[in-house]
Structure 1
Amino acid sequence: MQFDYVIVGAGSAGCVLANRLSENPNTRVCLLEAGPADNSLFIRIPAGIIWLMRSNARNWRYYTVPQKALNNREIYIPRGKTLGGSSAVNAMCYTRGHPWDYDHWESLGNPGWGYKDVLPLFKRCEHYEPGGEGPFHGVNGNLNISELKFRHPVSEAFVTAGVQAGHPATDDFNNDTQEGMSMYKVNQKDGERWGVARGYLHPAMERDNLTVMTGALVHRVRFDGKRATGVEVEHKGDMHTIEAGEVILSGGAINSPQLLQLSGVGDPQELKRHGIDPVHELPGVGGNLQDHPDVLVIHRNRRRDTFTMGSWELPFTGAKAVWDFFTKRSGQLTSNVAEAGGFIKSRPEEERPDLQLHLTAAKLDNHGLNWMFSMGHGYSGHVCILRPKSRGTIRLRDADPRSPALIDPRFLEHPDDMEGMVRGVKAMRAIMAQDALAPWRGEEIAPGAHVQSDEQIRAFLRHKCDNIYHPVGTCKMGVDDQAVVDPDLKVHGLEGLRVVDASIMPTLIGGNTNAPTVMIAEKAADKILGV
């Protein structure tokens, strides 16, 4: 099998590349995905995220190594394992980060990645329903963005409470200021999830020059000297060699650095420890891991109107939700679960928002995996710091491509991260205490009334801090000795090999990472095609 391009990973970046690179009918493109097709009903139903969080078929279900600053707990890291990748299993919140984030990337030695350069790409990606075309948004793009069709009253009250607590209101987190409280805009269309596979890949799959293989686990990249020539892939129990003029890794911030190391690209000493012959020394592979730490402030609900995994009303509310969705594409099943939120400053001296908030109209613990905790009625406020200073690693467990990598984000190991999260808990509590939430507000379950001092909050964070699924940085773009790719996303020192996904971000952006990953792939496609 010979192609002009082979793309490893059909996630948010890989689907974009498959579409763009196959637009020329004379270009042969192969897209490889380890997971199955995205034909699950739970993917189409927005609230299906509750079930997808548990899926073994469409979720890699990774765990970190024990986190020293979090009482040696192992933290759950869900990642999409299907066409569309994590855009098929996420909460669909459409945010880009702050303009400063991209100007910062450019200042690190990445010309062409400043905000003025990437804004046109964000606009090109979009079909923005809420306000149409404007200075920050575009129409007629592949990625549909809509208002939520269902808004829980407690979510709307949370936005009002944030304003009562002194934060501004906004209708758009993706303008040039970002700051404010609002309901999230979502990647949905007519009440269904509109992931990147549906927006980019499905329209291209009828092209004769695009081959899409699901259930295809790539074992390694093949090299002839310093040139990548293709990949070795396991498909339906057999090994195949796929040759390509260019190999593009789009496996994400965990799988792309793992595959590079399995292929002999990385720290030679680390590779030799697993019996892998080094092909190219590149010490930054798998370093610079960043993710958003997250914690929940949880209240019981005095009413009986929030989402629950168990109550006497569930058969009735559940039946209505199913009827509404399948007859009108409306109702509770169109909820993205994290409907409301905000980008706020934890203290006046911050130059830009340093905290992100999400409100879930349910009691949550351990990503919703603790179903017993979700019995009964409550609501949960997520808070995360936007630009953590802790840096972690992705390392090989062994030389077996089927083995999950050793994921060590080192959450809260930098003291500034811990103090930022302490301020975040206080900010969330201040919002939860406002009059707008009084009709719902019951007992604070977490941290709990007994947790008041900064040291008690730190202890709570060590016991309960988690993450909100935005790993980046492990094949970072740049020109320093730890950079893995250059500003054209070519792997330093090698030919015929690029990395195009969230792993190339030199620093974590201040927001959800799906939209920036789509933008990265759009920009990469332009570079590859010479646009």
Structure 2
Amino acid sequence: MSRDYGFPAEDGMRPWVPDTADGSIHPHCTQAFLQRCLLLSMSQLIATYDIVFAGGGTTACVVAGRLAAADPSLKILIIEAGKHTKDIPSYTQPARYLRNLSSGGEMFTFHLAKPSKALDGRPCVIPSGKGVGGGSCVNFLMYTRASPSDYDDWENLSNPGWGSKDLIPLANKAETYEPSAKNHGTCGPIKVTNTMQTEIAKHFLAVGAARDKERSSIDDTNDFSATSVNVYSVRVHFIASCRFFTRCSRYVAIDTGRRSDAAQYYIYNQAHNKNLEILVHSRVKRVIFEGDRAVGVEYISHAPETADKNAIVAVRASRLVVVCGGAFGSPAILERSGIGASKVLQAHDIPQVVDLPGVGENYNDHNVAFLPYRTTDAENTMDDIWHGSDEVVKAFEDRWLSDTQDKGNMAHNGIEAGIKLRPTATDLKVLGPTFTNRWNEFFANRRDKPVVCVVPVSGYAGANALAKGRFYMIGYYSDYPASTGRTHIQSTDPYAPLDVEPGFLDKTEDLAVLRWAYKWSREMSRRMESYRGEFALEHPQFDEGNAAACGLAEGPVGIDAPDIVYSKADDEAIDKFHRATVATTWHSLGTCAMKPRDQGGVVDARLNVYGVKNLKVADMSIAPTNVGSNTYNSALVIGEKAVVIIAEELGIEGM
């Protein structure tokens, strides 16, 4: 049985005191509970909103911002665990993203996973963005779009309206691509640019053009061919996108050099709307129900000015509660609310509202590795900003703040080229027999799906104090790992760590993909003009003296130089390296999957949580299957689609 909070019809002014039919206090109320109710009756009267968003990340900002702009009379509340992000340099200055990660603390929630045998017994850490705007304020700013078949896969799981023909126009609606380009958005809130700054990216593209006879180059592999709604024609274009070297775009406004995040462009530009409220430093505990109807949420404030950091406060949602806590936060909120697998809820004495075993399951991510290579002191890299003194960084900031059109490296992320890569026949031999079934069953007939994404990074993004000088890195991540995981609560305390098992490398075919990606990207790197050898401490440890051994070099090898031949022992060293180092790509998704309930689904195609009313989930947790790209773009698309759905239900036209 769920508690009955006895909410009044609409006035929202009744103190938070559970009652019975005859008006008396529920007998299960403890003395501490009654004391808390008394305090609430004196000072914390329940406020009423039309819509309450439990979480203020990327998708929440899109949905709340669009709805508020369309109908300013809507009373909307966003409850966010992090802080405000408006005009804070560490968020708005793009190049600071790496320093943000190393500083940790208030900008992120760090989820410590269980030790994994597949990762040599180590417990990997998975950060998620915290603050208004969520990951859009702290990510690597990479602009990549999902393959059209990714969205068609969603639609084919009984989700009408979620296919590529429906979502591609919404992807364009969200963006303004600068300079303008064919088949991109021209007047959306989010700014994107693909101007180039560093020579390292050009060196990577030059090697691809000269060396790889089975692939070629193109300016833009994120062209969705929006002039056509024919799904087949869209797929034909993306078949090509998986064999092209390309420039990489980033979420930066070309005129200001500012990060283009969801908070700034959907929420903070509506400061004039007093009905759009943001409550920061407050973590949602659970959703409140009257029977099977969501009517509000409880939260705990940890704001500096809060006197009682343990006080639970309730707010009413007269029309809708939207859970937007992300791949970790959303399933946790549902479970604390009594929605989830019976065994999880029973373990924490949570009365069950709905039996949904899929909550917290189906965790998907991408597996990433960054391999450092040395370069010359003359190369333009991000090392000074990422690792320089405050005085050195200030010079870059001053240029960014100036009236000059070129904002310099502070307006960059250092990632300006790359490729979405599918294996050739030769590559399939390198991948080996452990990948054969995965290739045949998943990739072979889905020709717009890349196996890995590979990018050069102009600078050293690691933390080894011995890394002196200038570097570039080759980053690669697997786009569709076969391994999946799960995340569940360990307590009803919303601040308690979660029970996380991401499943990284549980299946050997995922290890084969990373082994191939290392070999392929290293052959690219050692031919780049900027190459001066490997930073061997952060590469696989090969036996000294063999062909695969890493170390310093005077310059690149020739374009036609033979590839390194790796022995069985070398392959084992590469696998050991990946087990010891592979990490999250911050692309967590899938834990409140939008698919049929009997297939482990949590929400339907209208984003309604199964078994209850007036409760939706809208964030990357609803993605039922993975996407072959960085996930910010898909989070925007989910937000724009959620706007259309909710607007229809509220009777708001023109969305």
TM-score by length of structure 1 reads 0.93
Task: Using the TM superposition, give the Cα deviation of residue 379 of structure 1 relative to its aligned residue in structure 2, in angstroms.
Answer: 1.4
- Determine if the alignment matches structure 1 residue 69 to structure 2 residue 118: yes
One-letter amino acid of the counterpart of residue 593, structure 2: K
Question: Which residues of 2 match residues 252-401 of structure 1 at below 5 A?
Answer: 252-305=326-379, 306-308=381-383, 318=393, 320-327=395-402, 328=404, 330-348=407-425, 350=444, 351-352=447-448, 353-365=450-462, 370-401=463-494
Name the CA shift for 1:193/1:471 in 2 (closer, same or farther; >3 Å). same
- Determine if the alignment matches structure 1 residue 104 to structure 2 residue 153: yes
CA–CA distance in 1 between the matches of 2:459 and 2:147? 29
CA–CA distance in 1 between the matches of 2:374 and 2:492? 47
2:232 maps to: none
CA–CA distance in 2 between the matches of 1:233 and 1:310? 38
- What is the aligned counterpart of 1:524 among 626, 642, 645? 642
Deviations 1:508-528 (A, max 9, x none): 100000111111111111111
1:41 maps to: 89
> Higher relative contact order at CA 8 Å, sep ≥6: structure 1 or structure 2?
1
Task: Using the TM superposition, give the Cα deviation of residue 447 of structure 1 relative to its aligned residue in structure 2, in angstroms.
Answer: 2.8
Question: Which residues of 2 match residues 79-228 of structure 1 at below 5 A?
Answer: 79-132=128-181, 134=182, 136-148=183-195, 151-166=197-212, 167-175=215-223, 176-177=237-238, 178-179=241-242, 180-189=244-253, 190-228=256-294
Tell whether the 8 Å contact from 1:254 to 1:474 is kept in structure 2 after alignment: yes
Task: Mark the structure with the bigger radius of gyration.
Answer: 2
Bigger shift: residues 168-177 or 459-468: 168-177
Report percent identity of matched pairs.
30
Deviations 1:133-154 (A, max 9, x none): x4x3121111111124x62211
Bigger shift: residues 406-415 or 508-517: 406-415
CA–CA distance in 2 between the matches of 1:160 and 1:470? 29
CA–CA distance in 1 between the matches of 2:93 and 2:453? 25
CA–CA distance in 2 between the matches of 1:259 and 1:63? 18
- Determine if the alignment matches structure 1 residue 19 to structure 2 residue 65: yes
One-letter amino acid of the counterpart of residue 390, structure 1: S
2:56 maps to: 10
Q: How many pairs align?
A: 522
CA–CA distance in 1 between the matches of 2:456 and 2:530? 16
CA–CA distance in 2 between the matches of 1:478 and 1:129? 36
Deviations 1:486-513 (A, max 9, x none): 0111011111100000000011100000
**Matched residue of 1:181: which SS?**
strand
Deviations 1:407-431 (A, max 9, x none): 2111011122111111111221121
CA–CA distance in 2 between the matches of 1:205 and 1:316? 35
Deviations 1:309-344 (A, max 9, x none): 699997886454233222236112112133332211
Task: Using the TM superposition, give the Cα deviation of residue 208 of structure 1 relative to its aligned residue in structure 2, in angstroms.
Answer: 2.3
Tell whether the 8 Å contact from 1:385 to 1:417 is kept in structure 2 after alignment: yes
CA–CA distance in 2 between the matches of 1:307 and 1:124? 32
2:498 maps to: 405
CA–CA distance in 1 between the matches of 2:482 and 2:349? 33
One-letter amino acid of the counterpart of residue 83, structure 1: V
**Matched residue of 1:443: which SS?**
coil
- What is the aligned counterpart of 1:497 among 609, 612, 615? 615
Task: Using the TM superposition, give the Cα deviation of residue 388 of structure 1 relative to its aligned residue in structure 2, in angstroms.
Answer: 0.9
CA–CA distance in 1 between the matches of 2:530 and 2:193? 29
CA–CA distance in 2 between the matches of 1:408 and 1:313? 36
Tell whether the 8 Å contact from 2:113 to 2:499 is kept in structure 1 after alignment: yes
Tell whether the 8 Å contact from 1:29 to 1:210 is kept in structure 2 after alignment: yes
Deviations 1:201-258 (A, max 9, x none): 1122321221111111111111112111110012233432111121101111111001
CA–CA distance in 2 between the matches of 1:114 and 1:224? 35
CA–CA distance in 2 between the matches of 1:336 and 1:320? 17
- Determine if the alignment matches structure 1 residue 487 to structure 2 residue 605: yes
Question: Which residues of 2 match residues 428-443 of structure 1 at below 5 A?
Answer: 428-434=521-527, 437-443=528-534
Task: Using the TM superposition, give the Cα deviation of residue 449 of structure 1 relative to its aligned residue in structure 2, in angstroms.
Answer: 5.3
CA RMSD of aligned residues (A): 2.1
**Matched residue of 1:441: which SS?**
coil
Task: Using the TM superposition, give the Cα deviation of residue 41 of structure 1 relative to its aligned residue in structure 2, in angstroms.
Answer: 1.0
One-letter amino acid of the counterpart of residue 197, structure 2: R
CA–CA distance in 2 between the matches of 1:234 and 1:315? 36
Task: Using the TM superposition, give the Cα deviation of residue 66 of structure 1 relative to its aligned residue in structure 2, in angstroms.
Answer: 1.6
Bigger shift: residues 341-350 or 302-311: 302-311
CA–CA distance in 1 between the matches of 2:388 and 2:636? 40
Name the CA shift for 1:228/1:455 in 2 (closer, same or farther; >3 Å). same
